[in-house]
Chains A and B, each alone.
Chain A
């Protein structure tokens, strides 16, 4: 895991363009529902179909969300931003242009800290998403060789925020981490559901390489079609190596767009000849400028939640948990709030105990069963109860795991499960001594070896006997007490 990767004397230079769909109720310029997975062409109207005479009206919430992004990434929010028409002919936009922002975006010059390194963000601008094309006939749904295409305009006009970084990223890992941090923050501020697999967050990477110490950038290739953070990491790493291979074998890099293929783990050229696009941007005459007022900005500021980086830091300090655990807790939506609710009613044990139970069996269960956190049967108070019983010694750790599994399946309260199933940790010294006597009788050889052995042997045999004793109690024995009794009995040998 490095922030600055050097391969064969070359360093990797990456800039990322992230498109995220804003989680508004309606599209950017019309009242059609912004909804993923609707029946084709059911969320369409004259505006998003670009019918003559229709006029766009800007969605207030999209502006508010853009301003939230402005706050979250320390952007400058210019006094004024305007929309432009980006002209091109392609059936995914029925108007033959996309309404976007050009030289006056809503946010400019922000930053994102990634593991202590500040990555500069050039800009974030509002634009409308395009329709979805399905290419029919030909090879694997690609344009090439297709017979015709079918267009669904439900997505046309959905608000997008395009967030463009400076070429400050120096490794594939750092690129992946940038996307992770960006995604966690966008999710936390509630502006997007950032699902890469559903396309509500899309990442394009501009990748180039140059000799370490060079001041000029190399020719770059834009890599598209990365549908997960893992594929961002893989695609950037692959593309950099491909470019270094070319350069070291004396060939030239062609500036082009390349398509990441998850299956073969390579990037492929999308066009043989890249024509410089001529989008002929001009100001959109049907929309007036946006000038965020002081009121709008202070309202947005007052609604900002705690950002993931700050939350992690706070929990690491307050709960004495590791960076890794804090990341897990903060990255799963709602899990930090869940943990805080459990910690608030803690009846024994520490916040770290709560976190350990959450990041272990609890998340494991949710992942295995596909259960959403909000739908989980075990609520924070129940978890606190369970941790209290384990730490207090009335049930063992293993019993606790069983009780948690049961609670997650049945929805019964942990105390009720413990009572109904008669689960209890054996903490009776007499009973545990009895168990140890039986174990000693059955393992005379081990005892002999203990008696005559050196410290290392003693330790080994002691561990063995302890294991046998726990086994004999079926894991229900109180380990602290059992340890204590075992030591006493071994001393008395």
Chain B
């Protein structure tokens, strides 16, 4: 049985927001800490059940092996795609300076 995790803190919420690149306000952080705690409580309820005999569900549909033949299909028009991009240069997508993990 998995350990019951420590209660959700505001710092956790800020970390998740950072991972998702979301700029949230102080009051949103408060609100989401409460709301996410409720969801996690529910997850903890589920985690407290004995589910050793239950196979993990990877997908809700009872389907496996949905394959495609290895045959080339036409790609889309480059100029058309690049026109919809915020910026492009030399037939490539131009993106702003990539920053480190700061």
Q: Which residue of A25, A44, A273, A285 contacts B78 across the interface (Cβ within 8 Å)?
A: A44
Contact yes or no, A148 B67, CB < 8 A: no
Interface residue A91 (Cβ < 8 Å from any Cβ of B): yes
Given A59-B67, A63-B67, A289-B64: A150 in contact with B89 (beta carbons within 8 A) = yes
- Which residue of chain B has its CB nearest to the CB of A273? B101
Contact yes or no, B72 A91, CB < 8 A: no
A198 to chain B: closest CB distance in Å?
19
What's the interface size class on A, roughly? 35 or more
Give the chain B neighbours of A293 by CB distance below 8 A: 65
A88 to chain B: closest CB distance in Å?
9
Complex: how many Å from CA A258 to CA B100?
A: 15
Give the chain B neighbours of A104 by CB distance below 8 A: 58
Give the chain A neighbours of B66 by CB distance below 8 A: 57-58, 287-288
- Which residue of chain A has its CB nearest to the CB of B99? A143
Contact yes or no, B64 A80, CB < 8 A: yes
Give the chain B neighbours of A148 by CB distance below 8 A: 94-97
Complex: how many Å from CA A149 to CA B15?
A: 27
Interface residue A275 (Cβ < 8 Å from any Cβ of B): yes
Give the chain A neighbours of B1 by CB distance below 8 A: none
A221 to chain B: closest CB distance in Å?
17
Q: Which residue of A41, A278, A291 contacts B81 across the interface (Cβ within 8 Å)?
A: A41
Interface residue A203 (Cβ < 8 Å from any Cβ of B): no
Give the chain A neighbours of B76 by CB distance below 8 A: 44-46
Give the chain B neighbours of A63 by CB distance below 8 A: 67
Interface residue B70 (Cβ < 8 Å from any Cβ of A): yes
Interface readout for A67-101 with B: 1 if CB under 8 Å, 0 if not? 00000000000001010000101110000000000
Contact yes or no, B67 A57, CB < 8 A: yes
Number of A-B contacts (CB under 8 A): 129
Give the chain B neighbours of A291 by CB distance below 8 A: 64-65
Interface residue A411 (Cβ < 8 Å from any Cβ of B): no
Contact yes or no, A288 B75, CB < 8 A: no
Contact yes or no, A135 B75, CB < 8 A: no
- Which residue of chain A has its CB nearest to the CB of B87? A148
A436 to chain B: closest CB distance in Å?
69
Interface residue A396 (Cβ < 8 Å from any Cβ of B): no
Given A58-B67, A275-B101: A150 in contact with B72 (beta carbons within 8 A) = no
Which residues of A are at the interface with B, using a C-beta cutoff of 8 A? Answer: 24-26, 30-33, 39-46, 49, 57-63, 80, 82, 87, 89-91, 104, 133-135, 143, 146-153, 271, 273, 275, 278, 280, 283, 285, 287-291, 293
Which residues of B are at the interface with A, using a C-beta cutoff of 8 A? Answer: 15, 19, 21, 58-59, 61, 63-76, 78, 81-82, 89-98, 100-101
Could you jot down 17 A-B contacts, CB within 8 Å?
A: A25-B70, A26-B70, A32-B75, A33-B75, A42-B78, A57-B66, A148-B95, A148-B97, A149-B94, A150-B89, A150-B95, A273-B101, A275-B101, A288-B63, A288-B64, A288-B65, A289-B65
Given A58-B67, A152-B91, 20 additional A-B pairs, CB 8 A: A26-B70, A31-B71, A33-B72, A41-B92, A41-B93, A49-B81, A57-B68, A60-B67, A89-B21, A148-B94, A149-B94, A150-B89, A150-B94, A151-B92, A275-B101, A278-B15, A280-B19, A289-B64, A291-B65, A293-B65
